Structure 1
Amino acid sequence: MAHAHHHHEPQGDDLTASARGALEKSGEQWTQMRASVFEALAGFDKPASAYDIADAVSKREGRRVAANSVYRILDLFVGANLARRVESANAYVANAHPDCLHDCIFLVCDSCGQIVHIDDDALTGGVRNAAKKAGFAPERPVIEVRGKCAKCEDSAQAG
């Protein structure tokens, strides 16, 4: 049986404040550049690449921001649980609940690119246990399920 887990999903300024608090709690500073990268990431409605984020920050600030700088910040964000990396897309999403640690299960729509993040501690715990039984020390399990979201599936069936 799946572990029921409900989150308040902060958005906008509340999400940024939550991210800032989590980053500072981890001992890191919330710099203007980090704030700009997080706000750009949170502004996308689909997973964003470092290049997408660098372009958005560059446009907003009126100066070129290198993707390498964005990658370093995104790595920091992933480590601090402010962002999640969608491995198969080499893209990132803002974590709406950075104070809560769960292994990721992403549902990836191959038609529209939308991604839904779900928590199922029983499933991810089973993956961790299977890895341990195989003599592997799991650090960050990420499960991705590719297919079609309900909206795209309904459109395909209607057409």
Structure 2
Amino acid sequence: MASHSHAHKEHSGTGLIEAARDSLIASGEQWTGMREAVFAELAKHERPVSAYDIADNLSRARGKRVAPNSIYRILDLFVANNLALRVESANAFLANTHPGCQHDCIFMVCDECGEATHIDDDQTSRRIRDLAAGCGFSARRPVIELRGLCKACKG
């Protein structure tokens, strides 16, 4: 479903965690135990997950409370370093399965089941960035989301 102009490798499982670690370290950031735990929890989910859900799951697993504010800071770092994707309309996050490969994602978010599918379309992204530049606007991170029903829910 991706429409990009170059090949990129989709990672999963421990390979995804290792790729995220390598990408974060390459960007000059540290890969801490808490960052690994947050990324591993995020990577378990196929649908967007909130910082509160991650905090609750990690709190249960660790036997002590993990503050959602700490999770938000880590997730913001992950988004800034292209390790996670933020679904703005749901205030939720997905692990980027191809860390280190930069795209402006187009999300299709199902209002019924919450599934968020992303499409990488470099042509559309380039056009939106060009439109912004034509208005004198410097786009940092375009967010494109389509709300509706996924194939399964529209039946």
Query: TM-score when scaled to structure 2?
Result: 0.94
Cα deviation for residue 105 of structure 1 reads 0.5
Q: What is the match of residue 116 of structure 1?
A: 117
Matched letter for residue 31 of structure 1: T
Q: Alignment identity in percent?
A: 57
Matched letter for residue 66 of structure 1: A
Cα deviation for residue 60 of structure 1 reads 1.3
- SS of 1:107's equivalent in the other structure is strand
Pairing of 1:13-28 with structure 2 (within 5 A) = 13-28=14-29
- Counterpart Cα distance in 2 of 1:20 and 1:97: 12
- Counterpart Cα distance in 2 of 1:76 and 1:141: 17
Q: What is the match of residue 30 of structure 1?
A: 31
Q: What is the match of residue 39 of structure 1?
A: 40
Query: TM-score when scaled to structure 1?
Result: 0.92
Cα deviation for residue 4 of structure 1 reads 4.7
- Counterpart Cα distance in 2 of 1:62 and 1:3: 43
- Counterpart Cα distance in 2 of 1:100 and 1:32: 24
- Work out whether residues 103 and 124 of structure 1, in 8 Å CA contact, stay in contact via their aligned partners in 2: yes
Cα deviation for residue 91 of structure 1 reads 0.6
Q: What is the match of residue 157 of structure 1?
A: none
- Structure 2's unaligned 5+ residue stretches are none
- Counterpart Cα distance in 2 of 1:89 and 1:23: 25
Q: In angstroms, what is the RMSD of aligned CA positions?
A: 1.2
Cα deviation for residue 115 of structure 1 reads 0.5
Pairing of 1:99-110 with structure 2 (within 5 A) = 99-110=100-111
The yes-or-no answer on 1:86 pairing with 2:87 is yes
Larger Rg: 1
- Counterpart Cα distance in 2 of 1:45 and 1:70: 18
